[in-house]
Structures are given as C-alpha cells and as structure tokens.
C-alpha cells in the first residue's frame, strides 16, 4: 500500500462547526474527513498532521518533527494559507485606522511554503498542494465579529471597504500565490477552489462560520482529490 502524509490547518484536520449557540461556538473533528475518505478510496495509508489554526510558520515546525515519515511517504499533502491571510479582527474592530498585518505576510508565506516544498522533494516524497476553499464572506464576517459591539462591527466593515466581500479579496491574493508556487515549482495543485465555485450555492457545502467545509464539503474535496489521481493514472 502506498503511503501519504498530510500537513495543514483545521480543514486538513477535518474540523467542522458543531453548533453556534448563545453560549459560544463548538468545533469537532470529523472522523470521516476528506483525507480519511481519500485514503480509503485511493488505497493510501495517510498520516494526517493537520492542526487547528496552523500557518506555514507553525506548519514548518510540525513538518520538521516528521522528516523520517516523509522519507517513507510517496506523497506529502500540504494545505496552508487560510490562517496565514487572516487578521486580528478584534484589533481592527478597536482601531480600524491603524496599520494591520495578516498572520503571515505574503512574501514570508511564499518563501516558507517554497522551503517546505523543497524539503519534501529533498526527502524523496512528492509534494501536492491544495488551493484555498472560498469563503462565504457574510457568514465569516458575522463569525469574526460575533463578540464585538455595534461600533466594532462597523469598524471592521469600514476597514473592509464597506463590503464583506473585502475579506474574499485578501483571501484570494494568497490563493493565487499557491497556484503561482505550483506553476513555478512544477508542483500539482489540487484546485478545490473551483470545485466549490462550480456550485452556485457553494455555501451549502460550508459551515455556519463561512470558512470550514461541512460534511458535504468534505465529500466534495475527496471527490476532487480522487478525480485528480484517477486522471493521472490514465
């Protein structure tokens, strides 16, 4: 049986929003997440090291702890960017006029991601990247401002240019960088972005927080991954 190893954030881990109640939010990890589904359908043994909130910087440290496993893995799946492009929304809500930076600036994101790809290749495993899943911007805005008062929410909206779609615009800059890396380094990129956007109501595949795919979304990702592998066998 061929082996795979996976690194990424909460999407790779299979995290979904269980419920959104007055008392707060609750996340859990799907046992049958897309990585598990892909392993079963493709006959791959996949070790999944996805971690909630993970950026490429944290991901690099996690990957370095599993070098021996990468050496013995046919494929190394890498899924980063969603947390790298995110901001401290509480700070923006308090002071929208200040200069705010994402968790990982775009230059550092690209350089660190490139170094991860180089390291995986140097260990003899085939790197495979994932593009970003599109945000449901209105849901995500509601989610990140859920603990703010009206002034804070108004400040965040102001910082976004008066439209919640401003969140998607920044998100897409990092997504395009992933495709650029794939092209420049001749690394396959699994285009899950298009897989979601092909559905006019792709929000049906997303949790209430607007950023995590739900169970239906994980099936869609699994279908996309498996189709890529099937096409490569032909």
Output the domain CATH number for residue 224: 3.40.50.1110
Q: Which residues contact 96 (CB under 8 A, 6 or more apart)?
A: 155, 156, 158, 159
32 lies in some domain: yes
Greater confidence (131 vs 20) lies with 131
127 lies in some domain: yes
CA-based nearest residue to 140, from 161, 115, 164: 164
**CB–CB of 133/85 below 8 Å?**
no
Backbone angles phi, psi at 75, to 5 degrees: -130, 145
Query: Could you give the angle at which helices 34-42 and 215-233 cross, rounded to 10 degrees?
Result: 30
Backbone angles phi, psi at 228, to 5 degrees: -60, -45
Q: Which residues pair with 158 in a beta bridge?
A: none
147 lies in some domain: no
202 lies in some domain: yes
CA-based nearest residue to 209, from 134, 133, 142: 142
Q: What one-character DSSP code corresponds to residue 131?
A: P
CA-based nearest residue to 46, from 82, 81, 11, 12: 12
**Integer Cα distance of 127 and 76 in angstroms:** 5
Length of the chain: 234
Backbone angles phi, psi at 149, to 5 degrees: -85, 180
pLDDT band at 234 (very low <50, low <70, confident <90, very high): very low
216 lies in some domain: yes
The pLDDT of residue 210 is 96
Q: What is the pLDDT of residues 107-159, one digit of tens each?
A: 999 999 999 999 999 999 999 999 999 999 999 999 999 999 999 999 999 99
158 lies in some domain: no
Q: What is the pLDDT of residues 162-220, one digit of tens each?
A: 999 999 988 999 999 999 999 999 999 999 999 999 998 999 999 999 999 999 999 99
154 lies in some domain: no
Residue 12's domain comprises 2-88+102-134+168-233
Radius of gyration of the chain (CA): 18
Query: Could you give the angle at which helices 137-144 and 150-159 cross, rounded to 10 degrees?
Result: 130
Count of domains observed in the chain: 1
Mean confidence (pLDDT) of the chain: 95
CA-based nearest residue to 193, from 183, 184, 202, 201: 202
189 lies in some domain: yes
> Is the per-residue pLDDT at 20 higher than 90?
no
């Amino acid at each position: 049986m061929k082996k795979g190893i996976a690194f990424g954030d909460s999407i790779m881990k299979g995290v979904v929003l269980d419920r959104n109640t007055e008392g707060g939010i609750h996340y859990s990890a799907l046992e049958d997440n897309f990585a598990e589904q892909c392993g079963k359908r493709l006959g791959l043994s996949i070790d999944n090291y996805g971690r909630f909130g993970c950026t490429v910087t944290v991901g690099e440290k996690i990957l370095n702890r599993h070098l021996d496993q990468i050496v013995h893995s046919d494929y190394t799946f890498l899924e980063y960017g969603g947390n790298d492009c995110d901001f401290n929304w509480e700070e923006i809500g308090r002071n929208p006029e200040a200069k705010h930076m994402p968790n990982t600036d775009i230059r550092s994101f690209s350089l660190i991601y490139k170094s991860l790809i180089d390291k995986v290749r140097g260990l003899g495993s085939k790197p495979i990247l994932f593009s970003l899943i599109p945000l449901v911007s209105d849901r995500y805005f509601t989610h990140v401002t859920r603990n703010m008062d009206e002034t804070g929410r108004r400040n965040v909206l102001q910082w976004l240019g008066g439209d919640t779609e401003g969140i998607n615009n920044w998100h897409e800059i990092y997504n395009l960088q992933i495709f650029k890396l794939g092209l420049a380094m001749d690394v396959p990129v699994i285009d899950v972005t298009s897989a979601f956007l092909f559905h006019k109501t792709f929000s049906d595949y997303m949790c209430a927080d607007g950023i995590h795919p739900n169970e239906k979304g994980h099936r869609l990702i699994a279908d996309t991954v498996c189709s890529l592998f099937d096409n490569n066998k032909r």
